[in-house]
Protein backbone atom coordinates (compact mmCIF):
# COMPACT_ATOMS: atom_id res chain seq x y z
CA UNK A 1 0.00 0.00 0.00
CA UNK A 2 1.39 3.42 -0.98
CA UNK A 3 1.28 6.03 1.77
CA UNK A 4 -0.69 9.15 1.04
CA UNK A 5 1.40 12.30 0.56
CA UNK A 6 1.83 14.29 3.74
CA UNK A 7 1.94 18.05 4.26
CA UNK A 8 3.92 20.27 1.93
CA UNK A 9 7.08 21.83 3.39
CA UNK A 10 8.69 24.47 1.16
CA UNK A 11 12.42 25.08 1.59
CA UNK A 12 13.91 28.53 1.08
CA UNK A 13 17.38 27.16 0.24
CA UNK A 14 18.85 23.71 -0.34
CA UNK A 15 22.34 22.25 -0.60
CA UNK A 16 23.32 20.44 -3.75
CA UNK A 17 22.89 17.04 -2.12
CA UNK A 18 19.41 17.97 -0.96
CA UNK A 19 18.62 19.27 -4.44
CA UNK A 20 19.73 15.95 -5.93
CA UNK A 21 17.55 14.01 -3.46
CA UNK A 22 14.53 16.09 -4.43
CA UNK A 23 14.97 15.44 -8.15
CA UNK A 24 12.03 13.45 -9.43
CA UNK A 25 9.33 14.93 -7.25
CA UNK A 26 8.65 11.88 -5.05
CA UNK A 27 7.66 12.51 -1.42
CA UNK A 28 10.22 11.82 1.29
CA UNK A 29 9.83 9.49 4.23
CA UNK A 30 10.91 10.68 7.68
CA UNK A 31 13.72 8.48 9.03
CA UNK A 32 14.85 10.53 12.05
CA UNK A 33 13.52 13.46 14.07
CA UNK A 34 15.66 15.69 16.27
CA UNK A 35 15.19 19.06 17.91
CA UNK A 36 17.05 20.91 15.15
CA UNK A 37 16.65 18.60 12.15
CA UNK A 38 14.27 16.23 10.43
CA UNK A 39 15.86 13.66 8.12
CA UNK A 40 14.03 12.46 5.03
CA UNK A 41 14.91 9.52 2.81
CA UNK A 42 14.45 9.57 -0.97
CA UNK A 43 15.40 7.14 -3.73
CA UNK A 44 18.26 9.52 -4.62
CA UNK A 45 19.53 10.02 -1.08
CA UNK A 46 18.93 11.78 2.23
CA UNK A 47 18.28 15.38 3.14
CA UNK A 48 17.98 17.21 6.44
CA UNK A 49 15.26 19.79 7.03
CA UNK A 50 16.81 22.49 9.23
CA UNK A 51 15.88 25.98 10.36
CA UNK A 52 16.99 29.06 8.49
CA UNK A 53 19.61 29.86 11.16
CA UNK A 54 21.47 26.58 10.54
CA UNK A 55 24.70 26.54 8.57
CA UNK A 56 24.29 25.85 4.86
CA UNK A 57 25.48 22.38 3.96
CA UNK A 58 25.21 19.93 1.08
CA UNK A 59 22.38 17.93 2.66
CA UNK A 60 20.54 20.82 4.30
CA UNK A 61 17.13 22.09 3.19
CA UNK A 62 16.36 25.28 5.11
CA UNK A 63 12.74 25.84 6.12
CA UNK A 64 11.02 28.61 8.05
CA UNK A 65 9.80 26.13 10.68
CA UNK A 66 10.41 22.43 11.19
CA UNK A 67 7.27 20.32 10.72
CA UNK A 68 5.77 18.33 13.57
CA UNK A 69 6.31 14.79 12.29
CA UNK A 70 7.24 11.28 13.41
CA UNK A 71 9.46 8.60 11.92
CA UNK A 72 7.61 6.94 9.05
CA UNK A 73 5.59 10.01 8.07
CA UNK A 74 5.62 11.13 4.46
CA UNK A 75 6.34 14.74 3.48
CA UNK A 76 6.11 16.58 0.19
CA UNK A 77 9.12 18.90 -0.17
CA UNK A 78 9.13 20.73 -3.49
CA UNK A 79 12.40 21.64 -5.18
CA UNK A 80 13.94 25.04 -4.57
CA UNK A 81 15.39 27.61 -6.97
CA UNK A 82 18.16 28.65 -4.57
CA UNK A 83 20.80 25.92 -4.41
CA UNK A 84 23.79 26.52 -2.13
CA UNK A 85 27.18 25.31 -3.37
CA UNK A 86 30.35 25.85 -1.35
CA UNK A 87 33.58 27.26 -2.77
CA UNK A 88 36.47 24.81 -3.23
CA UNK A 89 38.92 24.44 -0.40
CA UNK A 90 42.27 26.24 -0.68
CA UNK A 91 45.52 24.24 -0.91
CA UNK A 92 45.92 22.31 2.33
CA UNK A 93 49.44 23.59 3.01
CA UNK A 94 48.08 27.14 3.26
CA UNK A 95 45.54 26.22 5.94
CA UNK A 96 47.57 24.45 8.63
CA UNK A 97 49.33 27.27 10.48
CA UNK A 98 46.38 29.50 11.35
CA UNK A 99 44.00 26.56 11.81
CA UNK A 100 46.30 25.00 14.41
CA UNK A 101 46.44 28.33 16.24
CA UNK A 102 42.69 28.99 16.39
CA UNK A 103 41.18 25.51 16.73
CA UNK A 104 42.29 24.35 20.22
CA UNK A 105 39.99 21.30 20.29
CA UNK A 106 40.41 17.56 20.77
CA UNK A 107 37.50 15.18 20.10
CA UNK A 108 36.18 12.76 22.68
CA UNK A 109 36.81 9.52 20.80
CA UNK A 110 36.30 5.94 21.90
CA UNK A 111 38.94 4.16 19.85
CA UNK A 112 38.79 0.85 21.61
CA UNK A 113 42.03 1.36 23.53
CA UNK A 114 43.98 3.04 20.72
CA UNK A 115 45.94 6.10 21.89
CA UNK A 116 43.80 9.18 21.31
CA UNK A 117 46.12 11.09 19.02
CA UNK A 118 47.35 8.12 16.97
CA UNK A 119 45.15 8.99 14.01
CA UNK A 120 48.16 10.92 12.72
CA UNK A 121 50.43 7.89 13.09
CA UNK A 122 47.78 5.59 11.63
CA UNK A 123 47.53 7.80 8.56
CA UNK A 124 51.30 7.94 8.15
CA UNK A 125 51.97 4.23 8.66
CA UNK A 126 48.88 2.59 7.22
CA UNK A 127 46.95 5.14 5.15
CA UNK A 128 43.48 6.63 5.04
CA UNK A 129 41.58 3.35 4.64
CA UNK A 130 42.95 2.04 7.96
CA UNK A 131 42.21 5.34 9.68
CA UNK A 132 38.67 5.21 8.30
CA UNK A 133 38.15 1.72 9.70
CA UNK A 134 39.41 2.88 13.10
CA UNK A 135 37.23 5.99 13.22
CA UNK A 136 33.92 5.02 11.61
CA UNK A 137 31.07 4.81 14.11
CA UNK A 138 33.27 5.65 17.11
CA UNK A 139 32.13 7.98 19.84
CA UNK A 140 28.84 9.61 20.71
CA UNK A 141 26.41 11.95 18.98
CA UNK A 142 24.04 11.92 16.01
CA UNK A 143 27.10 11.78 13.83
CA UNK A 144 29.61 10.02 16.13
CA UNK A 145 32.79 11.95 16.83
CA UNK A 146 34.81 9.41 14.86
CA UNK A 147 32.65 10.01 11.81
CA UNK A 148 33.10 13.78 12.12
CA UNK A 149 36.88 13.38 12.32
CA UNK A 150 36.78 11.00 9.35
CA UNK A 151 34.75 13.55 7.37
CA UNK A 152 37.52 16.08 8.03
CA UNK A 153 40.15 13.63 6.79
CA UNK A 154 38.15 12.98 3.61
CA UNK A 155 37.74 16.71 2.99
CA UNK A 156 41.48 17.29 3.34
CA UNK A 157 42.27 14.35 1.08
CA UNK A 158 39.91 15.64 -1.60
CA UNK A 159 41.31 19.18 -1.26
CA UNK A 160 44.77 17.69 -1.82
CA UNK A 161 43.61 16.07 -5.06
CA UNK A 162 42.99 12.47 -4.06
CA UNK A 163 40.52 10.81 -6.48
CA UNK A 164 36.89 11.34 -5.59
CA UNK A 165 35.93 7.79 -6.57
CA UNK A 166 38.41 6.31 -4.08
CA UNK A 167 37.23 8.57 -1.27
CA UNK A 168 33.58 7.82 -2.06
CA UNK A 169 34.31 4.11 -1.78
CA UNK A 170 35.71 4.68 1.71
CA UNK A 171 32.69 6.78 2.70
CA UNK A 172 30.17 4.26 1.40
CA UNK A 173 31.96 1.41 3.14
CA UNK A 174 32.11 3.14 6.53
CA UNK A 175 30.66 0.98 9.31
CA UNK A 176 28.24 3.55 10.66
CA UNK A 177 24.62 4.56 10.18
CA UNK A 178 22.89 5.91 7.09
CA UNK A 179 22.90 9.57 8.13
CA UNK A 180 26.63 9.62 8.83
CA UNK A 181 27.40 7.83 5.56
CA UNK A 182 25.45 10.50 3.68
CA UNK A 183 27.56 13.27 5.22
CA UNK A 184 30.75 11.26 4.64
CA UNK A 185 29.80 10.85 0.99
CA UNK A 186 29.66 14.61 0.50
CA UNK A 187 32.90 15.07 2.42
CA UNK A 188 34.48 12.68 -0.08
CA UNK A 189 33.32 15.08 -2.81
CA UNK A 190 34.96 18.01 -1.00
CA UNK A 191 31.71 19.53 0.34
CA UNK A 192 30.96 20.47 3.93
CA UNK A 193 29.09 23.03 5.99
CA UNK A 194 29.69 26.67 5.09
CA UNK A 195 31.51 27.47 8.33
CA UNK A 196 34.29 24.97 7.58
CA UNK A 197 34.77 26.32 4.06
CA UNK A 198 34.91 29.84 5.51
CA UNK A 199 37.33 28.72 8.21
CA UNK A 200 39.68 27.17 5.66
CA UNK A 201 39.55 30.27 3.45
CA UNK A 202 40.30 32.57 6.38
CA UNK A 203 43.21 30.38 7.49
CA UNK A 204 44.67 30.32 3.99
CA UNK A 205 44.41 34.10 3.85
CA UNK A 206 46.14 34.44 7.22
CA UNK A 207 43.08 36.21 8.63
CA UNK A 208 43.01 34.99 12.24
CA UNK A 209 40.01 37.15 13.33
CA UNK A 210 37.86 35.78 10.48
CA UNK A 211 39.10 32.27 11.28
CA UNK A 212 38.01 32.66 14.91
CA UNK A 213 34.57 33.84 13.82
CA UNK A 214 34.20 30.80 11.57
CA UNK A 215 35.41 28.57 14.40
CA UNK A 216 32.70 30.02 16.65
CA UNK A 217 30.09 29.12 14.03
CA UNK A 218 31.44 25.56 13.88
CA UNK A 219 31.24 25.32 17.67
CA UNK A 220 27.46 25.80 17.33
CA UNK A 221 27.12 22.81 14.94
CA UNK A 222 25.91 19.84 16.96
CA UNK A 223 27.26 19.14 20.43
CA UNK A 224 30.88 18.99 19.24
CA UNK A 225 30.40 17.86 15.64
CA UNK A 226 31.60 21.07 14.01
CA UNK A 227 34.82 21.23 16.01
CA UNK A 228 35.43 17.48 15.65
CA UNK A 229 35.10 17.97 11.90
CA UNK A 230 37.64 20.81 11.97
CA UNK A 231 40.03 18.69 14.05
CA UNK A 232 39.90 15.94 11.43
CA UNK A 233 40.43 18.49 8.69
CA UNK A 234 43.52 19.82 10.48
CA UNK A 235 44.99 16.33 10.92
CA UNK A 236 44.25 15.57 7.27
CA UNK A 237 45.80 18.82 6.04
CA UNK A 238 48.96 18.18 8.08
CA UNK A 239 49.18 14.66 6.68
CA UNK A 240 48.66 15.74 3.09
CA UNK A 241 51.24 18.52 3.47
CA UNK A 242 53.77 16.06 4.89
CA UNK A 243 53.14 13.66 2.00
CA UNK A 244 53.66 16.48 -0.50
CA UNK A 245 56.90 17.52 1.22
CA UNK A 246 58.18 13.93 1.14
CA UNK A 247 57.42 13.60 -2.56
CA UNK A 248 59.21 16.90 -3.19
CA UNK A 249 62.36 15.61 -1.49
CA UNK A 250 62.26 12.15 -3.03
pLDDT band at residue 156 using 50, 70 and 90 as cut-offs: very high
The answer on pLDDT for 113 being more than 70 is no
Q: Do residues 191 and 63 make contact, with C-beta atoms less than 8 angstroms apart?
A: no
Range of the domain at 96: 92-249
65: domain CATH number is 2.40.50
Mean pLDDT of all residues in the chain? 91
Same domain membership, residue 109 and residue 43 = no
| In a domain? residue 200 | yes
Instruction: Look up the pTM and report it.
Output: 0.92
Q: Choose one of 66, 84, 102: the last residue of a domain.
A: 84
**pLDDT, tens digit, 9 for 90 and up, residues 214-249:** 999 999 999 899 999 999 999 999 999 998 877 765
The answer on pLDDT for 115 being more than 50 is no
For 176, residues 6+ apart whose C-beta sits below 8 A from its C-beta are: 136, 137, 144, 147, 184
| In a domain? residue 236 | yes
Same domain membership, residue 101 and residue 73 = no
Q: Please name the residue ranges forming H helices in the chain.
A: 16-22, 96-103, 119-126, 128-135, 145-159, 164-172, 178-188, 194-204, 208-219, 225-249
Q: Do residues 32 and 73 make contact, with C-beta atoms less than 8 angstroms apart?
A: no
**pLDDT, tens digit, 9 for 90 and up, residues 199-211:** 999 999 999 999 9
Cα angle at 26 between 39 and 6, to 5 degrees? 65
User: CA dist 211 to 83, 89, 238, Å?
Assistant: 25, 14, 17
Same domain membership, residue 113 and residue 46 = no
Q: Choose one of 21, 52, 84: the last residue of a domain.
A: 84
Amino acid sequence: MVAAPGPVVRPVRVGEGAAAALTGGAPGRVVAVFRRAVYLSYPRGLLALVGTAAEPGPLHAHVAALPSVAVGDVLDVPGCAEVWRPPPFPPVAEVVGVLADVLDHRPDLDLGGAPGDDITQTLRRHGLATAAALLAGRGIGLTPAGDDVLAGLLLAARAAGQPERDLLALARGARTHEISRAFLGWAARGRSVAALHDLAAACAAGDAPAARRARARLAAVGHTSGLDLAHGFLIGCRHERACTDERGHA
